[in-house]
Amino acid sequence: MLTTGLKLKSLIKYFDVSKGEDDVRIVYDATANMLNSCVWVPSFWLPTIESLIRALIHHSWMTDRDIADMFLNFQLAESAKPFTGVDLSPLYNEGEPIDPKWAYWDRNLMGFAASPHNSVLMALIVEEVVRG
């Protein structure tokens, strides 16, 4: 999102990751700007394969719920957005008259301590809504 009306207080770093020959992904890294030291996140238990297998019987059905792949489906809290500024100026040629060159990231991001908890919580809420 462009910085329309939002006062940025901190920038986050980003870098590219190659996924195959023709696919490049951008990773927004919240570990570099001290944001994690300013948030409280409840701890929560993540199952291991051993604990999952103990709960299965021969009629069990399973699905893969890779929450990390779903980070981009869920928005950050409004209070976190001012701390997720992104400097886009390296993407432009020098002197190019495109403004603003800063934006903010508004989705869960890698390296942010609250992202796994927020994504799991929102996925469970979505499941509850879908099931009625």
**For residue range 48-68, what is the model confidence (pLDDT) as tens digits?**
777 778 878 888 887 766 655
Closest CA to 71 of 40, 24, 25: 25
**For residue range 109-120, what is the model confidence (pLDDT) as tens digits?**
888 888 888 888
Question: Which residues face 18 on adjacent strands?
Answer: 24
With cut-offs at 50, 70 and 90, classify the pLDDT of residue 128: very high
Distance CA 67, CA 57 (A): 24
Write out the chain in H/E/C secondary structure.
CECCCCCCCCECEEEEEECCCCCEEEEEEHHHCCCHHHCCCCCCCCCCHHHHHHCCCCCCCCCCCCHHHHHHHCECCCCCHHHCEEECHHHCCCCCCCCCCEEECCECCECCCHHHHHHHHHHHHHHHHHHC
Closest CA to 12 of 117, 80, 87: 87
With cut-offs at 50, 70 and 90, classify the pLDDT of residue 41: confident
Q: By mean pLDDT, which of 3-12, 63-72, 75-84, 106-115 is the weakest?
A: 63-72
